[in-house]
Each structure stands twice: as structure tokens, then as C-alpha cells.
Structure 1
């Protein structure tokens, strides 16, 4: 986004069942107490996170075929929006005036992939202030694969579109298997229409959705491995390791928590280690670039600096430190407040506020980052009104941002002040979403796998 102004840029593991008390209603003994029963989950989710028969009727009344058809319609409209920019001829500033900008188009050349260069392993040719190898490993090699599959800018775009379409299908299918018809949150999201083919974020979105499904089905090693792959694509899925591990620790299953954490770390390391050794300089560029990257105009930091000092945030390292401390403080506060209000809440749902607070406190909020949030509305905050409010506010940000970019050229557009209002509106909506998540009690908790040992220890009621 920083280039926009220049026009570049095995078998199912079942939890141990609660041991039933021996029946004593025989001639040798009287009628003993009834055997303990598992608590009935309102949502129809079994104690291992699978959807039971009650949930099948209630939560899957919409078939997967209809959801995939909805997804196909959304992606088709998204392609039509981007199509005017696919050729790469942006001499008339159409990428702003027609709202069709995509990072995919310029990155074929700025990442120097039109030849046979291997990211990190082969050095980048010197450019005038440009950045090369600025993405994590799996994102860079998704680009490399698409470049091998295609010729020219349009071919590169369409090859990436095919990869991202598969990622979208995988994400929606995982959500459907986990939360049923709520997969429509993603399949019909306006943000999916706008950002599906904007950047490579659908790949970590799909990996995160798969990790959530694996966690809910108690496949903890798979959950960790998928989060590790996600973090090797875009770093943000690493944020969810803590809520998932906290969920297992809350369920008195430290062995599962350890397996999940080690699977995440080990998978990330397995993907990155070869490049850390044999392409150190190129591999490190992503982290160096992220550290020195200036505060973007789409962040609350930029708004605050511009309004309070009439200047941009000059000291990038100070912003980095302040945003990190602020983020940790807010996450700790929200976690403590939620645990005080609802001690039994499903810890894995912390993934929602953890991600929202990251976006609000980060120095960069690129447009496609909103796509990261959509599955978490389906998973942890299934409130249609708040979801619609978020999507509308995000649409306002998108339209005003690109109209503001257009104002620097011949097309004309809105002022930065209008764009700032949209940014503040979206931030207010996201804050309201965190408050709503804090106020909810138990609605989503049925999705949390309840280990049998915890039921036995707590004396589950009959």
C-alpha cells in the first residue's frame, strides 16, 4: 500500500468419556445414583467440538452448496471490480478513480519475479528506493509460483486469482464445518468482494479458519501447524496461538497446549529455516522493512499525529515501541475484564479482540487487513448488526481512501479530512465490537470442546 500514491506497489481422537458409575440396581444392591451425563450444548456442539444432530438441523439448514454458490457470486463481482486494472496500464489513474487497485498487478515487477529469481536466495537488483522480498516466505513463494505459471502482468494476476480462489473456498468450507451457516459471513462479505484479489491475505485467512476448525475438533497438532503456516504467510495468525493455548490450559489439558504451541513454532521454523540459513539477507528484509516502515495514513497513529501536531509521526521507532506497549496493555485489560465478568468463557474466542486491538494499535492498517476479521465474526461474535456496521464503515474507508488518492491527480476526490472521519467511524465500530464480545455470556461457549476430565473434576450436573 505504501506504493499507491506512485501507482506501484489419522484418525479422529475422541476425548476420554466420563466413566459411568456401575449400576447397583441388582438383587445385591439398591438403586445407586444415576451416571453422570454431559451437559447439553445449546448450539448442538458435542464436547469434542463436533456438531451434533441438534446442531445439524439448527445450524446447517443452509447447505454447503448454497454457501459455495454465494461465494462464487461474491468472487465474480470482486473480479469485475478489479478487471479494469488487470492490464497494468494505469496511466489514466484508473486504479483510484475506478476503485480497481490491486497490489498483485505491480508486484510482479517490483518483486522482480518476471524472470527466474528465487526470493531471498537470489539477490534483488538495485532500484530507486524500491523494496524487494518484503513479504514472508509463503507469500513470496505464492507469487513465485504464480509467476512461473503465467506470462505478463495480466497472466500473473489471473494465476494469483486462481490460487486465492482456492484459498477462499477452503476458508468458507472450514467455517461451514465449524459453525455451519455462519460461513455466510465470509461468503457474502463486501470486504471479500473488495479484497479477495487485492493481496495474498486470503491464504492466511484460510489457514486460520482451518486452524480454528482443527482446534474445535481437538486436532491440536494440526491447529498449531496451520497457525505456523499462516504465520509464515502473514504474521498475524501467530497472535492466535496464545488464545488457543489458553483454551487448553483452561480445560486442564496442558499436554495439548504444549503440543499446539510446539506444532506452531516448529512448522513456522521448518518453513523459514532454509531461507534463514541460505538467504539470510533477503529473508530478513521483511522484518527490517516492517520495522522501518513509516506510519501509514490509514492508521489511528497517523490521524493522531496529523491532528495533534499537524505533522506525520516522525519517530518510527517510538511509534513501534508505543504501539507494542499499548497493544499488550489493552489485550491484558480486556482478558482480565472478561475473565472477571465471565470466568468460564471460552478462551479461544479471545482471538477476536486480540486481532481487533492489533489493528487499532498498529501503525499500519492496509485495506485488505479487514479481511482478517471476517471469519472471527462468524466464530466469536455472530452479531449480524455489528457485522453489517463494520462492513459499512470499512466500505466508507475504502471509498474515501481511494477517492483521496484520486484527488492528487486530474480526477479529483475527497479531502483527507473526509477520509479521517471514515477511519474514526470504523475504529468506533470495532471498539463497539470488542465491548459486545465482552458483554456476551455463553452464546459461543458451546463451541469450546469440553474435556471429560474437566467435567469429572467439576462434578457436571446430571
Structure 2
């Protein structure tokens, strides 16, 4: 049976070719191929009446076939099809010619926007070569753009799987849960979140290998793709302070956080200074965006008939009260997690705290886009490597996509009523809350932690930062009896 820690007499690295890492990477490639096939119905072409090729999204194919991807419509909407246009500099117009016409810019963080622009330009180069050479495969520009973008996202996820494997050398099959996740098959090409995930995961790997500056830079760069890698800085600070209380140096923690701040400023500053209005578009849109259908606030409003914190809003009016409530609730959760980290009988593992913080952000945020669940996959595997539990959660989370797609169809198109979709959202949220409960339990009772049960302390924290990897009663403020069930300490060598 595949999975679990290595046995006493296990021999690692003796296989001629099929090592655990290669098997896991092969699984990852297979799931990525499945993810491509899932989106392929939305990449079909047809001939219009005048003989021109067009993308076949007729009769709401993107919802009926459940193949929708933001990548496809953004190609036209964000002016990526125009080689002369540059994100954040050149605007586009929403509802052009209508009374509510709005000037819009690239709506993504800087590096995600530049990734889209770069993929579009690579697609232009490919199409130019295909026209000159004649034998290169080609298609509509938007399909070539999707393909180029997907290649980068696939490589990012493969690197994520590798990083999780490197973080758990004594549990090499844990990475298979990342590779085998149903969420990969459904959402790896729905948006661009794999880019942030690989930065966050490799940042954790750099930290574990005692490279705090690199770790911070990777987390900061990840913040240029999506906000969530920056959330991991909170757990880094909590673990660093807790170990500093036990006599460990705080300098590496400070260097990690400082490098992250430098990284995120470095990737944002050039665009923010050159095109401040375009750069601010991401933040403006997040302020004015209402509660997403995947959020708890929308579900509560639908099932209760409640009008929400802000009542009826005019088009473009920000839900100020909802924004404040969501932020306050998240801050309160972070305070609770900080208290948990400070009062736990043993210093919590970094991955455990990171999973709790990111989960709280998703659960309490007004937007939980389906692909955001990819953020949790590596963190969940690192925090709670229990195969059946994680696969059950990931399957439920992936299944939310089915009623979500049919939620956008009309009754005449055999669409589903909102109850089906919002009910599965509640199931997903309940599953994530249950996982959080198990992680909290492993923090309060270290003997139940699957990683610590095999003798590890915190493999995501470098042992060379002053004997951090070894537990010692002199370094903790709790008696030995509180942690004796957690197994033998890790040898820092």
C-alpha cells in the first residue's frame, strides 16, 4: 500500500528508475493532462457563415461542458490580443457606449497581469512562426494563448509537487496527495493561481533549508501573483516568536519577513509609479466587488432572505460594511490563532499555522473563487497528511464546480436551482472547518500530529537556527509531560 512514513528497514533511493519522486511527478503529469482534457471542450473551433474561424462557446458550452476558464475571455477583455497594448497602462471600456460605461484596467496583481501579457506575446511569436514555416500546429490566437499559459501553469504545479516532496523526505508519498488532488484536474487551468502556489511552497522549502532571504523573496514575489503567500508571514512570525521565547534567535525570522516585504515592493513599485491608476485597479475592484456566490455571506443571504450588511447597493457602490466585517472577523481569527500558537504545549508547526490562517481568510472573505482552493492543497498536505480525509475534502471541493456551472444556466438550458450550488458550498466550508479542527487538535495534542508521531518536530523550520529542530524541556515553558507523547526529537544533524 502506498503512503505513510518509512519503516525501520526501508531503503530509499535504491530503485533503478521508479523512485517515489518520479512516480509522484508522473501522477502529477497525468492529473495535469486530465485538467487539460477537462478544459478542451472550450477550445473547439467552428466556421461561421462567412467562413471565418470562431471559438465555439455557442449555447453556453462553457457551462454545459463545465470547461469554463477565465483565461479565454480575458484574452479579449483585457486587450491581450493587441500587441501594442500594455497591462496597467492601456485601459479598456466596460459596457462601452452605455450610460454606465466604465474605464477599466488589468484587474490582477502585477505579476499575474504581466504573466498573461507575456503568454499572449509568446502566442503571437508562435503564430508568426507557424505562418512562415507552415508545418507548426496552430489554431485561433486565443487557443494558442491558452496553451502557452497552461504550459507555464503546469510547470508551476509540477514544481509545487517537487517542493512538497522535498519538504517531507521521510514521508515521500505525501506529495502524491498534491499530485493526485481532484482540484488539480478541475481548476489548474481555471485561472493563474498555480503561480502563487509554487512561490508559497518553494518559499517554505527555502525556509526549511535555512535560506531565510530566499524564502522571504519567494513569498514576496508570490504576493505579486496573489495576496495569499503574504499571509504565511504571520505564521512565520508566530513560530519565530514562540521559539525566540525558548531561546532561539529571532534574526532569521526578521530577515525572512523583511525580504518578503522587499520582494513585494520590488515587483509592485515600477508599475505603481509608472501607471498608478492601472496598478490600483486590482485594489479598487476588490473594494467594490459584492459578496461572491461562493462566500458564506452570499449563502447566508440567500437561505435567510437577509439583504446583507449593506442592503441594496447601486452599481459600482462598494459594500463598505461587508468589507469591514470581513476584515474584522479575519483579524479576530488571526488573534485567536496567535493565542493558540503562544499557549500551545509545544511550538506549533509552521504548516499547521499557515493552513489555519489561509483557511480563515478563505472562509471569512467575501470572495472564494473556485480556484482559490488550490491554495490549501499543499498546506493541507503539509499540515495534516491523512490520505482519506484530504481526498474526501478535495473531492467535495472539486464537486462544487458542477452545480456552480449549471447555476449560470437558465431553466430552459437545464440549469440547476441555486440551492444545489449553495448547498455544496456549505459542504465544502464544513469540510474545511473540520480540517481546521483537526489541525487545532494536533497543535493542542502533539501526540496526534501525523508528522510528529514519527519523531519529527517541524520539518518546515530549519534545524540549524540554534537547535530549533530538537525539542528540549528547557526551551519550552511547559512541562515534559505535556509533550512526551509526541515521539522522539529530531536529530538536528
Tell me if TM exceeds 0.5. Answer: yes
Which residue number in structure 1 is paired with residue 346 of structure 2? 343
Where in structure 1 do 4 or more consecutive aligned residues deviate above 6 Å? 52-55
Q: Matched residues in 1 for 2:258 and 2:401: separation?
A: 38
Deviation per residue, 1:209-243 (Å, 9 max, x gap):
10111111111111100000110001111100111
Q: Matched residues in 1 for 2:240 and 2:334: separation?
A: 19
Q: Report the number of matched residues.
A: 412
Which residue number in structure 2 is paired with residue 14 of structure 1? none
Offset at residue 177 of structure 1 (A)? 1.0
In structure 2, the gaps of 5 or more residues are: 45-54, 125-140, 312-318, 452-456, 476-488
- 8 Å CA contact 2:153, 2:192 repeated in 1: yes
Q: Matched residues in 2 for 1:333 and 1:248: separation?
A: 17
Moved more, 331-340 or 246-255: 331-340
Q: Matched residues in 2 for 1:127 and 1:226: separation?
A: 38
Q: Matched residues in 1 for 2:228 and 2:258: separation?
A: 17
Structure 2 CA distance for partners of 1:201 and 1:165, relative to 1, 3 Å: same
Q: Does 1:199 align with 2:191?
A: yes
Q: TM-score, normalised by structure 2?
A: 0.78
Which residue number in structure 2 is paired with residue 156 of structure 1? 145
Give the alignment partner of residue 425 of structure 2, picking from 420, 423, 427.
423
Offset at residue 311 of structure 1 (A)? 3.8
Q: Matched residues in 2 for 1:161 and 1:278: separation?
A: 29
Supply the RMSD in Å over aligned alpha carbons.
2.7
Structure 2 CA distance for partners of 1:74 and 1:334, relative to 1, 3 Å: same
Q: Spell out the pairing of 1:285-296 with structure 2 (5 A cutoff).
A: 285-296=281-292
Which residue number in structure 1 is paired with residue 91 of structure 2? 123
Which residue number in structure 1 is paired with residue 316 of structure 2? none
Structure 2 CA distance for partners of 1:248 and 1:335, relative to 1, 3 Å: closer
Structure 2 residue matching 1:119: 3-state secondary structure: coil
- 8 Å CA contact 2:88, 2:105 repeated in 1: no
Q: Spell out the pairing of 1:90-129 with structure 2 (5 A cutoff).
A: 90-115=57-82, 116-125=84-93, 127-128=95-96
Which residue number in structure 2 is paired with residue 32 of structure 1? none
- 8 Å CA contact 2:187, 2:370 repeated in 1: yes
Q: Spell out the pairing of 1:326-365 with structure 2 (5 A cutoff).
A: 326-337=329-340, 339-365=342-368
Offset at residue 268 of structure 1 (A)? 0.7
Q: Matched residues in 2 for 1:409 and 1:458: separation?
A: 65
Offset at residue 132 of structure 1 (A)? 2.9
Q: Matched residues in 1 for 2:233 and 2:341: separation?
A: 19
Offset at residue 282 of structure 1 (A)? 0.2
Q: Return the structure number with greater relative CO, CA threshold 8 A, min gap 6.
A: 1
- 8 Å CA contact 1:245, 1:260 repeated in 2: no
Q: TM-score, normalised by structure 1?
A: 0.83
Offset at residue 374 of structure 1 (A)? 0.4
Offset at residue 340 of structure 1 (A)? 3.1
Deviation per residue, 1:179-236 (Å, 9 max, x gap):
2321111111110011111100010011111011111111111110000011000111
Q: Matched residues in 1 for 2:114 and 2:253: separation?
A: 30
Structure 2 CA distance for partners of 1:434 and 1:135, relative to 1, 3 Å: same
Q: Matched residues in 2 for 1:105 and 1:273: separation?
A: 29
